[in-house]
Amino acid sequence: MLARRIEQLRQRRWAPACLANLRLLLGFAFIPAGLKKVLRQPFTAPDSTGPFHEFLHAFHATGFFYQFVGLLQLVVALLLLSQRWAWLGAALALPLLTAILVFCWSTAVYPTATVVSLMFLGLLASLLWDLPRWQRVLMPEDSAAGSVHPAHDPRPWQASAVAIALLYLAACVLAGGVYRPRGADWGQPAFYLLVVIGLTPLVAWGFEWHASRRAGE
């Protein structure tokens, strides 16, 4: 029943575009966190206290392990942004995000935990979208599994992913480090690049919509 409903949803014209946007959001969310770890930058202020911050201080002190987790996050980000390999990125992200989710709720950082919970739900949606693929892997004898091929052209979304990565790197260069604003930072030029990043999926959506109209003519 679930597989049939997912297959029906995959045939809707708007659904693949929504999923592509979701993958871009999830992939982009892993980039700043991964970069900070790979560059050995602390994830919280040195003078911050409490279980949440003290764990992050100890995590940062592990050295190579801290960088290794950051590298995994960047790999997940690239796979999700690629669209074509997003199913693998979602699978790799699941244990990472599950651990982060439990950690945030257990240390009572509720705003962060809420954001991570939304990311977790989005990740589950991405995994369910590829349920036919997992059925073929886990139950190869099940002939009822549907097509695993995307029902849309992924190229506009792949171009959007490249633009997002390049724009964010430019924002980091302008900010002089990994850029993670806590709110509207209109005095920082890098913040305007984040605004442009938010518009790139709309451009991709427009290209796909125009291509689908031309194909239907």
* pLDDT band at residue 150 under the 50/70/90 scheme: very low
Q: Please, are residues 181 and 188 in contact by the beta-carbon 8 Å criterion?
A: yes
The answer on pLDDT for 5 being more than 90 is no
pLDDT digits 0-9 by tens, 9-33 = 777 878 888 899 999 999 999 999 9
pLDDT digits 0-9 by tens, 72-126 = 999 999 999 998 899 999 999 999 999 999 999 999 999 999 999 999 999 999 9
- pLDDT more than 90, % of the chain: 53
**Domain boundaries along the sequence of the chain:** 2-216
Locate 154 and state its tokens. 């992924």
More confident residue, 58 or 3: 58
Locate 163 and state its tokens. 């633009």
More confident residue, 154 or 110: 110
Q: Please, are residues 52 and 107 in contact by the beta-carbon 8 Å criterion?
A: yes
Cα separation values, 141 from 53, 86, 134, 145, Å: 48, 24, 12, 9
Cα separation values, 13 from 148, 179, 208, Å: 16, 35, 10
pLDDT digits 0-9 by tens, 168-213 = 999 999 988 888 887 888 888 899 999 999 888 888 888 877 777 6
pTM: 0.78
Lowest mean pLDDT among 57-71, 117-131, 143-157: 143-157
